[in-house]
Amino acid sequence: MESKRLDNAALAAGISPSYINAHGKPQSIAAVTKQRLLDAMHRSTAATKVAVNPLPNVKIFTHGKKMSLPVAGRGEYQWILT
């Protein structure tokens, strides 16, 4: 059960369960690596209330192409776009 909790916490923090290695093969990420990454991010495997982010963590736009950026939640927000 602890493994599932760690996997869920890692996914919630944006840590992928696997990657493609130098040989082009899928490679799973070890539990100890996930835990160390979570520790470095000051996150834990304990269940915590997740805040609603008004915007996605990452959004890729293509120059010259119109795209929308919907805002979630309520409140007053301020951003600096660079």
19 domain-assigned? yes
Mean pLDDT across 36-48: 77
| Structural domain of 14 | 2-40
69 domain-assigned? no
Q: What pLDDT shows up at residue 1?
A: 47
73 domain-assigned? no
Mean pLDDT across 20-48: 87
* pLDDT, tens digit, 9 for 90 and up, residues 57-78: 777 888 899 888 888 777 777 7
Q: Are 29 and 36 in contact (CB under 8 A)?
A: no
The pTM of this model reads 0.52
34 domain-assigned? yes
46 domain-assigned? no
54 domain-assigned? no
Which of 23 and 77 is assigned the larger pLDDT?
23
Domains in the chain: how many in total? Answer: 1
Euclidean distance between CA atoms 45 and 28, whole angstroms: 19
12 domain-assigned? yes
